[in-house]
Amino acid sequence: MGAGGRMSSPNGQEKDGPKPLERALHEKPPFTVGDIKKVIPPHCFKRSVIRSFSYVVYDLTIASIFYYLANNYIPLLPNSLAYVAWPVYWIFQGCVLTGVWVIAHECGHHAFSDYQWLDDTVGLILHSALLVPYFSWKYSHRRHHSNTGSIEHDEVFVPKLKSGVRSTAKYLNNPPGRILTLLVTLTMGWPLYLMFNVSGRYYDRFACHFDPNSPIYSNRERAQIFISDAGILTVFYILFRLASTKGLVWVLTMYGGPLLVVNGFLVLITFLQHTHPSLPHYDSTEWDWLRGALATVDRDYGILNKVFHNITDTHVTHHLFSTMPHYHAMEATKAIKPILGDYYQFDGTSIFKAMYRETKECIYVDKDDDVKDGVYWYRNKI
């Protein structure tokens, strides 16, 4: 049984209907990563340059069409209609560009092609265009995959212990406070994470994705942080030139609005993949890589699953085999469900309901009473 909402049966068929939010299995599984890999068709691990680039071309073509329509026709509309048309453009364009973000994310995992230099080149260009420091994120994200579910060493959306909950949290533990928390998280969460490591792993000194000397990175990685910064500065310079010639309002409406949607989606997607009332977290006495990788949950975003290249509903597979290209992940997910059994987590709860529920239920983690093992579960009683 999965985490909640729509469940997956062992034969891979999904059952609809409300289900209790039962805890996921947290004991050491009776299978290994090797056992899981054996049930996946071998071609699922093969990367194709042509196929990978076809998704880049497709996404950028759709984005260009939206850009053309917005740039040439929305200014002709009466103000009353333009005020509606601009947010519609931001949402549609932001969804497509989130797909572009996902492809760059694949480059960071070496899932785009068999050539590391090509993956890094494509990833650097695409992520820089979306103001993401490619190499900086690549290395911190790699550590997230190496330490998923670890309270001490995971890199992103690390849950607080009860002792780490601020006294002000009780004032936000109500419907208006949760909505405010979601709004701040979805609009400011990504830049705050990049600049100040908000919601990230604890370090004993200032951690920033733009700082080559940040404790996030090893000495051999620091030179490439400069390259990431150069990519961001280049895009900022282009935006400055565009603002000088076309105006700041043009830049904000054509680029800023969609980027805000992209940032919101990538925070939401990551948040819901790793935050769920049924998911365990582990300290160093209990954590191991496989159980950490299984402490994630697939979600259903409807038609956006395809737009986002299935990063939303194949995340468990992605954490098990991060170099697998996205266009094979659905087939691989179907293949591994029987062997994972109750260790596979899927929640088909509507995204709007899930984001509010998780904000309400998942405030901190703690051990069960009178339990000495290093397994922690979400709580909400402040």
In tens digits, the chain (382 residues) has pLDDT values of 344 444 443 334 444 433 547 899 999 999 999 999 999 999 999 999 999 999 999 999 999 999 999 999 999 999 999 999 999 999 999 999 999 999 999 999 999 999 999 999 999 999 999 999 999 999 999 999 999 999 999 999 999 999 899 888 989 999 999 999 999 999 999 999 999 999 999 999 999 999 999 999 999 999 999 999 999 999 999 999 999 999 999 999 999 999 999 999 999 999 999 999 999 999 999 999 999 999 999 999 999 999 999 999 999 999 999 999 999 999 999 999 999 999 999 999 999 999 999 999 999 999 998 777 899 999 998 7
- Alpha-carbon Rg for the chain in angstroms: 21
> What crossing angle do the helices spanning 49-73 and 79-108 adopt, rounded to 10°?
160
> What pLDDT is attached to residue 19?
54
> What pLDDT is attached to residue 372?
73
> What pLDDT is attached to residue 35?
98
> What pLDDT is attached to residue 6?
41
What's the pTM? Answer: 0.93
> What pLDDT is attached to residue 370?
76
> What pLDDT is attached to residue 4?
44
Question: 């849950």: which residue's tokens?
Answer: 159
Q: Are 92 and 255 in contact (CB under 8 A)?
A: no
Q: Are 261 and 160 in contact (CB under 8 A)?
A: no
**Helix or strand (DSSP H, E) at 10:** none
Cα(361)–Cα(133) distance, rounded to whole angstroms?
A: 32
CA 18 to chain centroid, in Å, comes to 25
DSSP bridge pairs for 281: 376
5: left (phi over 0), alpha (psi -120 to 50) or beta: left
Q: What is the DSSP letter of 14?
A: E
Half-sphere exposure of 348 (CA within 13 A, CB side): 13
- H helices present in 18-168, as ranges: 33-38, 49-73, 79-108, 116-129, 134-146
> What pLDDT is attached to residue 371?
78
> What pLDDT is attached to residue 220?
96
